[in-house]
Amino acid sequence: MAYGSCVYRGCRQLLGFGLRGHRLSLYTEQRCGFRRAPKKNEPRKKEIEEISCKDSPMVGNRTTKSSLSPPLEEPILSKSSARSFRKLFKPFLFTVGFTGSTFGAAAIWQYESLKSRVQSYYDDLQIDWFEKHRPPKAGDNSAEYWHRWWGELSDIQKQAIVVLFQVNQWWNSLTDGQRSVTGIIAANVLVFCLWRIPSMQRIMMKYFTSNPASKTLCLPMILSTFSHFSLFHMGANMYVLWSFSSSIVSLLGQEQFMAVYFSAGVISTFVSYVCKTASGRFGPSLGASGAIMSVLAAVCTKMPEAKLAIIFLPMFTFTAGSALKAIVALDTTGLILGWKFFDHAAHLGGALFGIWYIVYGHEMIWKNREPLVKVWHEMRTKSRGSGGNGSA
């Protein structure tokens, strides 16, 4: 009897302990699940929005793992509310304002350059006149002076002077167009090097890639034009720009070319924004292809019978007009079919802007710059007059 009661109490205690333990574990599991869910999901949501796919650089639409790779935002289908074009109103104003300001600055730049050239010409004439009429001085032997000066230099100084002389010779051998695009190419190389710095990845992704789904919309429209993550992408774009630089600058001049190039970069990005918003597929884009397509289209429109060749197949030649038609047809097909390897909308926008500018834009914009130049001339004249009176 005593043995039975002991067994009964022992079983009851064991059963009660097991039931209590089971309830505690369930309660603890629910509590942990309730409290940990926000901590687990909320940061991940932010991370996906801001810096998703850190280890996958973008090469076209493919992703490959690399230790140095930009944060990649995967293209996503947006909801109907996100398709609203209201968000594009600010980029539209930026495009119009930037384009107008660029052409205005180019007109003023041309005025100042022409004025400086005329002033330099008259200064050189005065110097030549004074040199001819200057009485000779005793011991005035320039060859002897420079020979003595060269002998006093160290070997390092001589090497530096030789290098600078060679660089100066190379620079003088370039055409006006090649000298014009040298700064653009240098800027692209600098931005490419910034992509190699791991600590710069967030900044580069925010300001040097264009995406209509991003919070920063306007500044990347111009900065992404100088941005390349792939060395091959940058090399191909800069080669095409270098090849067409002499032709485009001979057609438009340095100042007008710069205005067309920068404006084409912003306009092509805005066209890309519109197409991405309309299709609902968002993703980052970068590269100078839109602006370069504008240059290529302008040259091909102005000189349709010029002969072109492919870089790796120089034996095959074709006319510039045929090349332009093929490129426009290819980008139009890619845009309609939704090809994602290139930003076909940006390419097409740049090409159409280049064609429009050669056919209509030059007459509408550049040939009507005289009122702005007159206003600038009057402002300069008044400022000089007031400065002269003040100093007197």
CB 206, CB 217: distance < 8 Å: no
Q: Is residue 14 part of a domain?
A: no
Q: Is residue 184 part of a domain?
A: yes
Q: Is residue 299 part of a domain?
A: yes
Q: Is residue 131 part of a domain?
A: no
Average pLDDT over residues 255-281: 93
Q: Model confidence at 64, in pLDDT bands (50, 70, 90)?
A: very low
Q: What is the number of structural domains in the chain? A: 1
pLDDT number for residue 124: 65
Burial class (CB in 10 A: 0-12, 13-18, 19+), 356: middle
Q: Is residue 22 part of a domain?
A: no
Q: Is residue 36 part of a domain?
A: no
Average pLDDT over residues 361-378: 91
Count of C-beta atoms within a 10 Å radius of residue 55: 13
Q: Is residue 265 part of a domain?
A: yes
Residue range 114-167, pLDDT digits in tens: 888 877 766 666 666 666 555 555 555 567 777 788 888 888 988 998 899 899
pLDDT number for residue 23: 36
* Cα separation, 222 vs 247, whole angstroms: 24
Q: Model confidence at 361, in pLDDT bands (50, 70, 90)?
A: very high
Provide the domain limits for residue 165.
85-114+155-379
pLDDT number for residue 182: 95
Residue range 207-228, pLDDT digits in tens: 999 999 888 999 999 999 999 9
pTM of structure: 0.74
Active site residues: 289, 347
Q: Is residue 29 part of a domain?
A: no
Minimum mean pLDDT range among 69-78, 180-189, 200-209, 258-267? 69-78
